[in-house]
Structures are given as structure tokens and as C-alpha cells.
Structure 1
Amino acid sequence: MFSKEEASKIRSEFWTKFGKMMAPHRSQGGAKVNWTNYKTGVKNIYFKMDVDSKKASIGIYLTHKDVEIQEIYFQQFVDMKDYMQSILNEKWEWELNSRNEIGQVVSKIYIEKHGLNMFRKDNWADIYQFLQPRILKLDEFWDDTKEVFKSLA
């Protein structure tokens, strides 16, 4: 096991390397993007990548404190589900009103890959191969659909 400091250093190194690997990629709109902290431009809609000692995940997180508004956003994603899946080329999990690690109600659309460990550097290439194409495809989807969500805000 690692100390908190060692684990923090590994996480930082992992995400720094991922950021450098992604730096040459521009968004669908041609803008330079901080891929590790993707800004959707719509409050309470986040693209989040996460990696720990058991899995890697990427998803869309809806965090509006008003659960009814969160459900409206989620329903809009449901209405675009076929289009989203046509870009992603895979099925993702859809969860309305789940709880995050600190107990807040969130809705999420995500995919996970188990058996990957951020703390094993020999897993990093597989993790990057999992995350990279998916964040790029999310960006493609978002470039086509973000105005719909901006109009709901």
C-alpha cells in the first residue's frame, strides 16, 4: 500500500502524463481543451474521468441541487440516447438520482472498465486507451448537442 503522499504523487503523475498525451488533440470546435478537466460550459453538467486501484471510469454527471431540474437534464440526454450511442459505439450505464461518494443526489451516464489499477504503471497504457477515445467522442457528441442544454440552463 502507498502512503497518502505517495498515492497523491502517483495520481498527479498519471493525470499529468494523460494531459500531455491529450494536448495535441483539439476539441471538435477547434479549441484547445484541458481534457483532464473538461469544461462543458453548462453549470451542473460535468464530464468526469476517474481511476482508482480497481477500475477506470468516464461519464457525464448531472449535479443540479434541484432534483427536478436534474431529471429534466437527464431526460434530455435520454432523448438523445440513440445519437449519443451512435457516436460512442457502445452502451453506457444510465442512472437517474443515484448518490455520489459524499451523499449528494446525482444522475450519471457512464462506463467503467474493471481490473485497471492507477497505482500500477504497467496499467497506464490500458487506462489511457480506455479514456482517450471516449473523452474525444464525448466532445464530439457535446459539440453537436450543447446548445440544447445551454437553452435549458
Structure 2
Amino acid sequence: MFTKEEAQQLRKEFWIAFAEKYPRKWLLHHTKIKDFSFKFFADSKKAQVLLDIEPRDPEKRTIYFEKIESLKTILLEEHLPEAIFEREFYLENGKLISRIWVQLDQVSINNKKSWDAIFDFFYEHMNAFELFFYEYEEYIKDLELNT
């Protein structure tokens, strides 16, 4: 077990090591769509690459999710075959969002031996997510264009 400070330091080392292995600027929050962002996540059991759709307006959240969902076959066949779609996903704080993600199990941010596997997973899957987004960006952004 780690102290809070040790765990915090280890997480810091993890993200620095990832940035050194894959030094590039990721899309993440720079989608130009409010509350529509890509994220990396790792804990003691898994790693995830996420697309969180979080507008407070449930109608906007639904529209964005349905736009991505209308492209589901393309996303699964050409980019991320193991993507999971969750129209209603509750965060730990109780906030309702929509989420699309991929997951790598049996890895731990606390185990440096699994870092390379996590880094490679992050790179490969976020890159695929970004390519998909850039290809369909105009369609996704346009709230007037129905699915």
C-alpha cells in the first residue's frame, strides 16, 4: 500500500513517463464542442480511453451521443472494434453523462511493469479515436444536422 503522497508521486511519474514516450499534443478538451472531450484514465485495475459527452442540457447530450451512435458501425469496424457505448453513464459524483470508451483490464498505474502496456494502449486507442473524430468532426459539431 502507498501513502497518499507516494500514490500522488507515482501518478505524477506515470504521466511524465507517458508524455516522454509519446510526446505529442492530444485533442482531449480541444474539440471546440463545449463539454465534449476525450480523456485518458488509469487506476489500480484498468486503463481507459474515453469520450465524455457532458452538456448540462440533456437534449444536447442526447443529440451528440446519437450522432456518434449513428457512426457506430464505422467507429467499430474502422477504428475501435471494442468500443463500449453508454447513453446514460453516472459519474461517481452522480452527474449523468454519455460515454464511449475502450478499456484495458489487469493493468495498474501502481505497477511500473504495466506502464508500457498502458502507454501503448493509450497511444493506439486515443490516436484511433482522434482520427475518427477528425474525419466526422463537421457532422458531429453541427447540431442542426439530424442523425
TM-score, length-scaled by structure 1: 0.86
The corresponding residue for 2:119 is: 128
1:41 deviation in Å? 2.1
2:48 equivalent to 1:73: no
Aligned counterpart for 1:140 among listed residues 128, 131, 135: 131
Whether the 8 Å contact between 2:46 and 2:108 is mirrored in structure 1 is: yes
2:37 alignment partner, SS class: strand
Deviates more, 1:118-127 or 1:140-149: 140-149
Aligned counterpart for 1:106 among listed residues 67, 92, 97: 97
1:141 deviation in Å? 0.7
1:89 deviation in Å? 4.5
Distance 1:56 1:17 in 2: 15
1:16 alignment partner, SS class: helix
Q: Residue type matched to 2:7 in 1?
A: A
The corresponding residue for 1:12 is: 12
1:38 deviation in Å? 5.0
Distance 1:128 1:38 in 2: 19
Is there any run of 5+ residues in structure 1 with no aligned partner, and where?
Answer: 26-32
Distance 1:146 1:71 in 2: 17
1:106 deviation in Å? 0.6
1:75 alignment partner, SS class: helix
TM-score, length-scaled by structure 2: 0.90
Q: Residue type matched to 1:41 in 2?
A: K
Q: Deviations over 1:12-42 (max 9, x none)?
A: 111111112221x5xxxxxxx246x552221
1:152 alignment partner, SS class: coil
Q: Residue type matched to 2:30 in 1?
A: K
